Structure 1
């Protein structure tokens, strides 16, 4: 069966059926300040990481615990005002032990399992921590199904997103079908695929994303576009994809408050961030995304 025939067989749903009035923005964050700004800006979900410069790594226990405490205080304040128990935000935690490729050895898999156990422990105390984000490949570019299944099983009942390791896989239809087939005891499964359509940005990969949307319609998987989404192109992307969730950064560069600056040395490799500036989410940018999503 050709690619077009395969996709046509899955094109049996009305692409206009989604309600585009309630679009949710997932914001990637790597500091408490960014978390707070994203929440104040109206983010629907946080992807909690460290080192977004490296594409996002597992956040520290300290960041998770401090965010948990912030959420609990604000949940209590909101519940007292509104007489409800709805959390102010959902948090999905990145599980990625290092930068670089997505081919992991067994020691790294063990680290990921311990990190998932920690997230589950936090989730029991703070239901806002409701998901994890993972991505594993084999050396031939296929999805590492065996280890992915083990992590999904361990994470259950948390929601699981497969991140942009998907964009580094060799064949998106094959990869989608592999992820779709994961169905662990207790209902563990991949709920979302974060993707730029195997290109550098969502707009460049829009045709592949539209193919994935067709494939996902009869399944439990949500396609989550992410990569290069800006306030300038979000309206166009929504019109082309007609989805209800999008992954954004909404970051701005903040200058360091350090007065003394030793600019002759740096702490990282040759490709590095400045020691005297850092990225932080801007709540006004998040609000702008929300305003421009009303089509």
Structure 2
């Protein structure tokens, strides 16, 4: 799999990308970000209601996730927007000056099947079509997904929902499929893009990270090319200290482990599935609200790295 691992002593990656001064501030809050992994609308609603920052929405998580239906995506946008509207109403008339202004991040998984991440031309066309149609849906639902103009000249209020995409594709020899990734980014209509844990199957993490920065990918979801984020901490530290896509630590991350993981790696974002206990593999992976509430409280209390 991975012949070259990135460590915190790999300065060459700093040349790949530079910070975007026009990037919305809500994408880099001054605390640890919690992204949940859910497979239904209820999971999105709970994530938005109970204080998670984002939710990755996929179907069939038992097979590591596939693309949800466009109807599910539409209903999920409504569900998240309702929760954000309630939060803003509670914040009062001046909510735009408070933390309530941050939209809820809804990230839609684009993956045509389970298994490996090497896709043929038909699968690639399906992925491109899914991104294009969901991006069109987001434009149609612009009252929820686009900044809203105010009475002041040139001023806008943040959207309720920031829709993005989670993608990943490799070549047969373990490199990033640059052609397909470029097409998917181009179809996304400017939405934020995460490259999922296909990254951990790349032949060379340093090469892959550099490629993704050059292709316009915003986030990389990774365990540091190890079975768990704790085991991949050295690679995560190297990625987190580099200028390029933001690192979202995933793989066996539990709320109680986040403080130690942040201290060891410098990551500012974590991803976890907070499903109810005792679920069989074929059952819907329902989100546990008590576990989610506890995770939000624990993770948001962890000091962000300087």
TM range (shorter): 0.7 to 0.9
Determine the C-alpha separation between the residues in 1 that align with 2:8 and 2:234. Answer: 16
The structure with the largest alpha-carbon Rg is: 1
Do structure 1's residue 291 and structure 2's residue 303 form an aligned pair? no
Aligned 8 A contact 1:191 1:222 in 2: yes
Determine the C-alpha separation between the residues in 1 that align with 2:8 and 2:88. Answer: 51
* Farther off after superposition, 68-77 or 94-103: 68-77
* Contiguous gaps of at least 5 residues in structure 1: 13-18, 183-188, 256-271
Do structure 1's residue 240 and structure 2's residue 264 form an aligned pair? yes
Give runs of ≥4 in structure 1 deviating > 6 Å.
2-6
Do structure 1's residue 106 and structure 2's residue 133 form an aligned pair? no
* Farther off after superposition, 85-94 or 204-213: 85-94
Structure 2 matches for 1:1-295, cutoff 5 A?
7-8=10-11, 22-81=31-90, 82-83=92-93, 84=95, 86=101, 89-124=104-139, 125=141, 126-127=144-145, 128-182=161-215, 189-214=216-241, 216=242, 218-219=243-244, 221-253=245-277, 273-274=281-282, 277-293=283-299, 294-295=301-302
TM-score, normalisation: structure 1: 0.80
Are the structure 2 counterparts of residues 210 and 80 from structure 1 closer, same or farther at C-alpha, using a change threshold of 3 Å? closer
For residues 155-198 of structure 1, give each alpha carbon's deviation from its aligned partner in whole angstroms, at most 9, with x where no partner exists.
1311100000000111101111111222xxxxxx1001100011
* Contiguous gaps of at least 5 residues in structure 2: 16-27, 146-160
Determine the C-alpha separation between the residues in 2 that align with 1:68 and 1:163. Answer: 21
Aligned 8 A contact 2:8 2:238 in 1: no
Query: How many Å apart are 1:121 and its aligned residue?
Result: 1.9
Are the structure 2 counterparts of residues 79 and 4 from structure 1 closer, same or farther at C-alpha, using a change threshold of 3 Å? closer
Are the structure 2 counterparts of residues 6 and 145 from structure 1 closer, same or farther at C-alpha, using a change threshold of 3 Å? farther
Give the match's secondary structure for 2:271: strand
For residues 209-261 of structure 1, give each alpha carbon's deviation from its aligned partner in whole angstroms, at most 9, with x where no partner exists.
112123x2x33x10111111012322211221223211111111366xxxxxx
Give the match for residue 269 of structure 1. Answer: none
Higher RCO, Cα 8 Å, sep 6+: 2
Give the match's secondary structure for 1:251: coil
Determine the C-alpha separation between the residues in 2 that align with 1:147 and 1:20. Answer: 31
Give the match's secondary structure for 1:56: coil
RMSD over equivalenced CA pairs, Å = 2.6
